[in-house]
């Protein structure tokens, strides 16, 4: 079972992601948050395998070193990150900041499921 934290500002998106993921017994959503500052406490206490991260939580007002620090800590803990965004132009920024993968929020659900499958095959 793959334990997942969903970090997205929109409650509707979190609910839709949870529904999609929990339709497959492979995935278990162990926590959700709408706030960037809650991600690390959740990761430390819940030990997820993967975070679905709304790229807009890491908005342009944050210093680049905060993004890099978050990336280092998550990868030290072997937590994979899939960045999500409604703006496909964020793909390069998310990947260069350290996200393991990027999925557009307007992509069909099977794109996210394929990405999850590719990332969780060990």
Whether 72 is in a domain gets the answer: yes
* The predicted structure's pLDDT at residue 61: 56
Residue 93 lies in a domain: no
CATH number of the domain within which 44 lies? 3.40.50.2300
Does 113 map to a domain? no
Rounded mean pLDDT of the chain? 87
Running DSSP on this structure, what letter comes out for residue 49?
S
E-strand ranges in the chain read 2-7, 27-33, 50-54, 80-85, 101-104
The pLDDT > 90 percentage for the chain reads 53
Q: What domain range includes position 23?
A: 2-88+99-106
* Residue 114 within a domain: no
CA separation, residue 109 to residues 3, 17, 49, 80, 93 (Å): 18, 9, 20, 19, 22
Position 36 scores a pLDDT of 83
Tell me the average pLDDT across 43-69. 76
Whether residue 117 is contained in a domain is answered as no
CA contacts within 13 A on the Cβ side of 85: 19
Q: Compute how many other C-beta atoms are within 10 angstroms of the C-beta atom of residue 76.
A: 8
């Amino acid at each position: 079972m793959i334990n997942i934290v969903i970090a997205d500002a929109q409650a509707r998106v979190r609910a839709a992601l949870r529904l999609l993921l929990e339709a497959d017994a492979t995935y278990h959503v162990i926590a959700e948050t709408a706030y960037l500052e809650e991600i690390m406490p959740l990761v430390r206490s819940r030990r997820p395998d993967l975070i679905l991260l709304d790229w807009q939580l890491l908005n342009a007002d944050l210093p680049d070193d905060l993004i890099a620090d978050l990336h280092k800590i998550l990868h030290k803990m072997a937590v994979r990150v899939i960045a999500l965004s409604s703006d496909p132009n964020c793909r390069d920024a998310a990947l260069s900041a350290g996200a393991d993968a990027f999925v557009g929020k307007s992509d069909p659900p099977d794109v996210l499921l394929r990405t999850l499958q590719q990332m969780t095959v060990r």
